[in-house]
A and B are shown apart, each in its own frame.
Chain A
Amino acid sequence: AQSVTQLDSQVPVFEEAPVELRCNYSSSVSVYLFWYVQYPNQGLQLLLKYLSGSTLVKGINGFEAEFNKSQTSFHLRKPSVHISDTAEYFCAVSDASGGYQKVTFGTGTKLQVIP
């Protein structure tokens, strides 16, 4: 079984400042890692994913994340945030042998971008 920890429930940041949303996972098997974003009154949208290969993954809207196996982390970063990035962000993990079929989500981090 896998688990995901998002230590920060809320992260306020000024517009155009950099941001890092932290995610740590636990698993006894190889994993796939994901970041999803949920805008107000909208469904979950995949930001980026790590399946294999390069540990630095680039996603949509200028976000990127780095898979660190030794620290079991997959932190999400953006060098300069915009007001439109205000949303809730979920880190998620699945068993690599199972693909997308049974994803375990963290509790989410609300990013609040301050003008």
Chain B
Amino acid sequence: GAGVSQTPSNKVTEKGKYVELRCDPISGHTALYWYRQSLGQGPEFLIYFQGTGAADDSGLPNDRFFAVRPEGSVSTLKIQRTERGDSAVYLCASSRSIDTEAFFGQGTRLTVV
């Protein structure tokens, strides 16, 4: 596709459930980033991948959050035992390399009820 694609666009889940959020980066982009944007805040860094490996996961808030990128393309952000405080827009971005512009997807709005 032409841009970064994130699915689903909206997800409502019950507290305690497991969710997966998917990101399809721009073809050929080796770097992939996840950010979280809570209401009224700017995006907050979670993790970034260079190829298949997580190069920096220092932004993941706790061990309920995990992300993978097994083939160096699509990435999945996984959240276990969701809490109401996890409600936010989760943004994915990709870039050709870490030295080039990152392009953002439209995000997945996660609501935990």
Contact = CB atoms under 8 A, between A and B. Distances in A.
Is B a genuine binding partner of A? yes
Interface of A: 4, 36, 41-46, 49, 90, 92, 98-108
Contacts of A36: 104
Given A43-B91, A45-B104, A100-B31, A105 B42 contact: yes
Contact of A44 (B43, B45, B97): B43
Interface residues on B, range: 20 to 34
A104 B45 contact: yes
B102 A100 contact: yes
Contact of B42 (A42, A49, A90, A98): A90
B4 to A, nearest CB: 7
A107 B104 contact: no
B76 interface: no
Contacts of B35: 105
B4 A99 contact: no
B4 A43 contact: yes
B101 interface: yes
Contacts of A100: 31, 33, 95, 98-102
